[in-house]
Structure 1
Amino acid sequence: MKEETKIIRIIGRLASVMSVLMYVSYIPQIISNLHGNYGDPIQPLVAGVNCTIWVIYGYFKADRDWPIIMANIPGVFLGFYTFYTALH
């Protein structure tokens, strides 16, 4: 049982890191958008909304879920900023 807890903890950390990397990957699209090569705004908008909901969920749980909050905060800002820069 203890080994399972360790594995789950590792998977949770890996998932948090991958979540942050997923949203940081919007930076090249933001740069392209700012240079006039606009990408589709729908996916980053949906990602921004999704991340906002996850942050609210993690914050208002009885025991705040900081890994969920911290993994999704970059998606809130980068998702909405990518959406904004994709509008033309």
Structure 2
Amino acid sequence: MQAITKTKSNIDFMDRSKFFEKLGWLGMATSVMMYIFYFPQISLNLQGHKGPFIQPLMAGINCTLWVCYGLFKEKRDLPLALANAPGVLFGFFAAFTAL
């Protein structure tokens, strides 16, 4: 009986592990898309229709901190760093083109 419980426990762990791995990839993909969608704002800024600069500036700062955290902590968290890397580039670019 104990072996059956142990096996079921391992299966539950594997299912949970796969679920959270997929959830992590989904989160990373949506994070990257969120920052890539700064393109329309950047385009408008460059055409002279300036938008606010504070939100993309704060996004750029926030993403820089998360990228540093993901890369420089003892056990690297590459998905976290990669998910926030586009925000560094696009956040700061959107902010500075809005000035």
Give the TM-score category using the shorter length.
Answer: over 0.9
Unaligned segments of structure 2, at least 5 residues: 1-12
TM-score normalized by the length of structure 1: 0.97
Separation in 1 of the partners of 2:49 and 2:80?
32
Of residues 37, 55, 63 in structure 2, which corresponds to 1:25?
37
Q: Deviations over 1:11-31 (max 9, x none)?
A: 000000000000000001000
Larger-gyration structure (1/2) = 2
Q: Which residue of 1 aligns with 2:86?
A: 74
Q: How much is the aligned-residue C-alpha RMSD, in angstroms?
A: 0.5
Large movers: runs of 4+ above 2 Å: none
- Number of residue equivalences: 87
Give 2:49's aligned amino acid: N
Which runs of 5 or more residues in structure 1 are unaligned?
none
Aligned match of 1:49 in 61, 67, 80? 61
